[in-house]
Amino acid sequence: MKINGNHIRPGNLIEHNGRLWIATKIQHTQPGKGGAYAQVELKDIRSGSKLNERFRSSESVERVRLDEIDYQFLFSEGDDYTFMHPETFEQIILHKDVIGEEVAVYLQDGITITISFYEEEVISIKAPDTVSMEVVEADAVVKGQTASSSYKPGVLENGVRVMIPPHIEAGNRIVVNTEDGSYVERAKD
């Protein structure tokens, strides 16, 4: 869908110079001489490179829509991860490089993830906001640190280190934020 250069907003995905870019920062400028323009900072979604581009109001750019489909994680073999569409049972195998380390560490049997496609090519993968995991190792509480809200180091079943409250012990299940790996709450399951 074509949009006017002034209508680009942060988070918009556009096609420019034959590549896909996400707009990260926008600054609208109206110089004393000449027409107004939008100074847009773009980030290539495949390579991560950045580009600053000016778009005048008379220019139009192609706004891209991604197809977001939920898939269920089945299993991994080496660096290959297998996912299944829950309705069609179609399976897709993705390499660890496509998934990214930050998503791969939180994959568990049966977890639902969102895969974004552009013209049948995988663009990005999003894990759920939170996952429930078991604490396998928790340091002892140091006496005298209970006056303020103190946290102690712990290790999850996937090997990720996380700061947990003093009342959480090894064997407890906790909810973890997948965005930053932080403790959310004790799991209710």
For position 140, which CATH number holds? Answer: 2.40.50.140
Average pLDDT, the chain: 87
Whole-angstrom distance, CA of residue 155 vs CA of residue 47? 32
Give me the long-range contacts of 19-22 (CB less than 8 A, separation at least 24). Answer: 19/44, 19/46, 20/44, 20/45, 20/46, 20/64, 20/118, 20/123, 21/45, 21/51
Which of these ranges, 29-33, 51-55, 102-106, has the smallest mean pLDDT? 29-33
Is pLDDT above 90 for 146?
no
Question: How large a percentage of the chain has pLDDT more than 90?
Answer: 28
Is pLDDT above 70 for 145?
no
pLDDT of residue 149: 66
Q: Tell me, yes or no, whether 55 and 6 share the same domain.
A: yes
CA 20 to mean position of chain CA atoms: 17
User: How wide is the angle at C-alpha 104 spanned by C-alphas 159 and 88, nearest 5°?
Assistant: 135
Q: Tell me, yes or no, whether 7 and 52 share the same domain.
A: yes
Q: Tell me, yes or no, whether 8 and 55 share the same domain.
A: yes
Whole-angstrom distance, CA of residue 30 vs CA of residue 26? 13
For position 6, which CATH number holds? Answer: 2.30.30.30
Q: Tell me, yes or no, whether 13 and 55 share the same domain.
A: yes
pLDDT of residue 41: 92
pLDDT of residue 57: 80
User: Which domain-ending residue is among 77, 95, 126?
Assistant: 126
User: Which domain-ending residue is among 13, 33, 63?
Assistant: 63
User: Which domain-ending residue is among 41, 63, 85?
Assistant: 63
Backbone torsions φ then ψ of 102, nearest 5 degrees: -65, -25
pLDDT of residue 144: 63
Q: Tell me, yes or no, whether 137 and 182 share the same domain.
A: yes
Q: Tell me, yes or no, whether 112 and 146 share the same domain.
A: no
Give the mean pLDDT of 139-155.
73
Backbone torsions φ then ψ of 6, nearest 5 degrees: -80, -10
| Residue 43 domain boundaries | 2-63
Q: Tell me, yes or no, whether 111 and 162 share the same domain.
A: no
| Token duo for residue 101 | 């380390």
Whole-angstrom distance, CA of residue 91 vs CA of residue 3? 35
Is pLDDT above 70 for 92?
yes
Is pLDDT above 90 for 139?
no
Give me the number of domains the chain comprises: 3
Is pLDDT above 80 for 169?
yes
